[in-house]
Every structure is written in C-alpha cells, then in structure tokens.
Amino acid sequence: MNDDKYKRLDRGFLFVFEGIDGAGKTVVADRISQELTSEGFDIVRLREPTNESPWGQEIRQRSPEGELSPEEELTLFIKDRRWHVRERIRPALEQNKIVLLDRYFFATGAYQSVSTGISWQDILRRNRVEISPPEPDLVFVLDLPAEEGLSRITGRGCKTNKQFEQLDRLVRVRQAYLEMSREDEANYCVVDAVEPLKDVVGRVLSRIHQELSEHVI
Ligand code: TYD
C-alpha cells in the first residue's frame, strides 16, 4: 500500500535504462531516482543481473572469469529475470510504485544476440514467452558510439587486442539496440548519451513527467 508520505499514482510504472557499457545508465538512473524521490514519488530502484537470485549470483561470479558459454549465459539471464519479475518487479508495480530498472530483457536481446548469434528478435520472443515479463512504460536507450563508451570505462585509447575485441562487440551491441528501438513493439526512447549528464537527465526526466502527468491522484 502507498504510505501517506508519498504522492499516489493510479497504477505502477516501469522505466527501463539500457545502453552499451559506458553509456551512463546507472548514473542517469540514480539521478532520476533522487529527483523523483525528492518530488515525493515512491521509487524502487532495481538492476539486472540481480545480486539476489542464485542465477544472478552465478552470472556475476562466473561470467567475468569466462567460465560460461554464451548459451549458458543466455539461460541464466532468463532464469534470473523470471525470479526478479516474480519477486521484485511485479510486487512493486502492484503497489503502484515507480520501478527504475537498470537493464531488462532488451539487454539480453542486444548482448546475447551478439554472443550467441541468435537474432535479437528470437531472444526477445523467448523472454516474452517464457517469463511473460511486464512491458515497460518506456525503455530509455542511452546511445553513444562504442569508442566513446569504451573510453569511458577503460580510460582514453584502445590499445590492446582485448580492447579491440571489446570495441567490436560494443559496436554490434549498439547496432542491435538501435535496430530494436526501430523495429520492436516496446515503447523506446533513444537519448543521445554524448550530451552532458545534466542534459541527458533532463531529457529523461521530462519524458517520465509526461508519462506520469495524468496518473497522479
Ligand atoms: P552492467 O549493467 O554494466 O552492470 P555493472 O554496472 O554492475 O557492470 O551489466 C553487466 C554486464 O552484463 C554488461 O556488460 C551487460 C551484461 N548483460 C548481458 O549480457 N545480458 C543481460 O541480459 C544483462 C541484464 C546484462
């Protein structure tokens, strides 16, 4: 139930933040969370992969070590998400809260299509069929060139072979996100993430305000 100290909404809202590594989705989602909290909204901040389910923990422990095959990763992301939707996302939406979610099944579509060679269309379909996940009110795709994303996470320059491989992967992940935002049925909002942080936050916040405007009770 909504506590009296919060602004009340007539339903829950789900806003998702996506983008390649280095796009800034975590910092943007944090700022949005602070803004909306200070405006009196009841915010639930979540992320995938989770740190909570056994599958999310397995991804976080074993994936950076290169121990998982791309297909094993795909299956684990879906199992983690099924748990997350049931235990965290749906309950918050049912209590008319605003869920700010850092990555969702669109990340699986973008990243695992590149790693497994399965099309993003098939991966999104598999998520939708196997989990019946709630569709977001908006999916913010924070978009920037792969070179810029990589240099934000590694510091300037792309010198080692490993970095070239990572660059190539991020070029393809970005392309998958952009294709998805044009062709998939979800409600996407592509935001230029090269802009200064305050402008990116301002743009996202004004889209969210538009969505919420007729639902404050
Ligand atoms: P990220 O949000 O960047 O987490 P952190 O800020 O903790 O590093 O996600 C970690 C990585 O997981 C990122 O490279 C994208 C990848 N990922 C997938 O490949 N598929 C998915 O379905 C999800 C949710 C994440």
Residue whose Cα lies nearest atom 10 of ligand 1: it is 49
Give a yes or no: residue 175 inside a domain.
yes
With a 6 A CB cut-off, is 106 part of the ligand 1 pocket? no
Average pLDDT, the chain: 95
What CATH number does the domain containing 139 carry?
3.40.50.300
Residue 25 lies in a domain: yes
Q: Is residue 132 part of a domain?
A: yes
Asked whether residue 18 is domain-assigned, the answer is yes
Residue 148 lies in a domain: yes
Containing domain of residue 131, as a range? 3-212
* pLDDT tens sequence across 115-125: 999 999 999 99
**Does any ligand 1 atom lie closer than 6 A to the CB of residue 104?**
no
**Residue 195 to residues 142, 144, 178, 179, 192, Cα–Cα distance (Å):** 10, 9, 18, 21, 6
Number of domains in the chain: 1
In this predicted model, what pLDDT tens digit does every residue of 182-213 receive, in sequence order? Answer: 999 999 999 999 999 999 999 999 999 999 99
* Residue 205 maps to a domain: yes
State whether residue 181 is helix, strand or coil: helix
pLDDT in tens, 98-149: 999 999 999 999 999 999 999 999 999 999 999 999 999 999 999 999 999 9
Asked whether residue 217 is assigned to any structural domain, the reply reads no
pLDDT at 81: 98
Question: Is residue 53 assigned to a domain?
Answer: yes
Q: What's the pTM value of the predicted model, to 2 decimals? A: 0.95
